[in-house]
A and B are shown apart, each in its own frame.
Chain A
């Protein structure tokens, strides 16, 4: 099999996940898109491992580790989203603007001038 097929599929899946992370509003849908990006990376790792016939099988070992880390990430991420939803009543990422930089008085004056 040509290595280009899995590599191109992984690149396209990564781009789809990137679009989802940037465009989605609900935090859980953002987490789903992150999973898509992680899976694209896993496909690359497996394809290159099979191509190189690595004796240590570093690619496949790293894929298993990535899957485990993704499981941990989704658990913590969902706990955080649930806590935010309990405290704020929303899980939309673009409504959580508490740490947004507020324009200072000088900048306001400059903008008004």
Chain B
């Protein structure tokens, strides 16, 4: 598990690593377009590419169940909700020149500083760490079902209560008030 870099050099990547880096570049590019494009609907559609790329990365890390949950929940419902939100708030179709606020240079500086610090620390700490992807998949549906319903039942149930509360809250918030109530 903790093999040194000599055994697995950076200059002799495995096929999984090549695929991971290629998909990672696509994901990162889609994420960059999402936060920089001036067309609001295009941002939501590029978010689909970024989230789908992350689902492929989960598959490459042998976490199959999470990959499909990612496709179902994020690509399937969250992006659709965001598109509905854009339509209901009458977001401008086409280029909107004021998509970015005035503190854009500050945001860029903060993001670059955060990226530099995080990448430096992470590379320094995990330069020689090797993930062993051989053997049975660690996130297949049967494995996920076993650990989720053997060890994580109580958090799972608490989470369903939270989801119910969020559902009720969203309905209450978006319900139109009657005139006589005011």
A11 to B118, alpha carbons, bound, how many Å? 6
Classify the interface of chain B: helix, strand, loop or mixed. Answer: helix
Q: Specify which chain A residues have a CB less than 8 angstroms from the CB of B174 in the assembled complex.
A: 79, 82-83
Nearest CB in chain A to that of B102: its residue:
A94
Interface string of A30-62 (1 = CB under 8 A from B): 011101100100110011011101001100110
Q: Which residue of chain B is the closest to A57 with respect to CB atoms?
A: B147
Among A2, A29, A42, A76, point to the contact of B99 (Cβ < 8 A): A29
- Contact between A24 and B173 (Cβ–Cβ < 8 Å)? no
Instruction: Determine if A28 and B122 form an interchain contact, defined as CB atoms under 8 angstroms apart.
Output: no
Please determine whether B61 and A47 come into contact, CB atoms closer than 8 angstroms.
Answer: yes
Identify which of B34, B88, B131 contacts A1 (C-beta below 8 A).
B131
Per-residue contact bits, chain A 64-75, to B (CB 8 Å; 1 contact, 0 not): 110111111111
- In the complex formed, the residue of B with least CB distance to A65 is B159
Closest residue of A by beta carbon distance from B47: A32
Assess the B106–A22 pair: CB atoms within 8 A: yes
Contact B111 A64 (CB under 8 A): no
Given contacts A12-B115, A18-B114, contact A75 B91 (CB under 8 A): no
Contact of B118 among A14, A32, A47 (CB under 8 A): A14
Q: Which of A2, A28, A76 contacts B130 (CB 8 A)?
A: A2
Kindly identify, within residues 52 to 111 of chain A, every residue whose CB is under 8 Å from any CB belonging to chain B. Answer: 53, 56-57, 60-61, 63-65, 67-76, 78-83, 85, 91-94
CA distance A18 to B31 in the complex (A): 11
Residues of B with Cβ closer than 8 Å to A?
1, 8, 10, 14, 16-17, 20-21, 24, 27-28, 31-32, 34-35, 40, 43-44, 47, 50-51, 54, 57-58, 60-63, 65-66, 69-70, 73-74, 77-78, 81-82, 84-86, 88-91, 98-104, 106-108, 110-112, 114-115, 118-119, 122-123, 126-127, 129-133, 138-139, 143-144, 147-148, 151-152, 155-156, 159, 162-163, 165-167, 169-170, 173-174
**A2-B126, A29-B43, A49-B138 known; 9 other A-B pairs, CB under 8 Å?**
A7-B123, A8-B123, A16-B28, A32-B34, A61-B155, A64-B69, A65-B159, A71-B73, A93-B101
A-B CB proximity, top 7 nearest: A22-B107, A20-B35, A15-B115, A72-B166, A19-B111, A11-B118, A23-B107
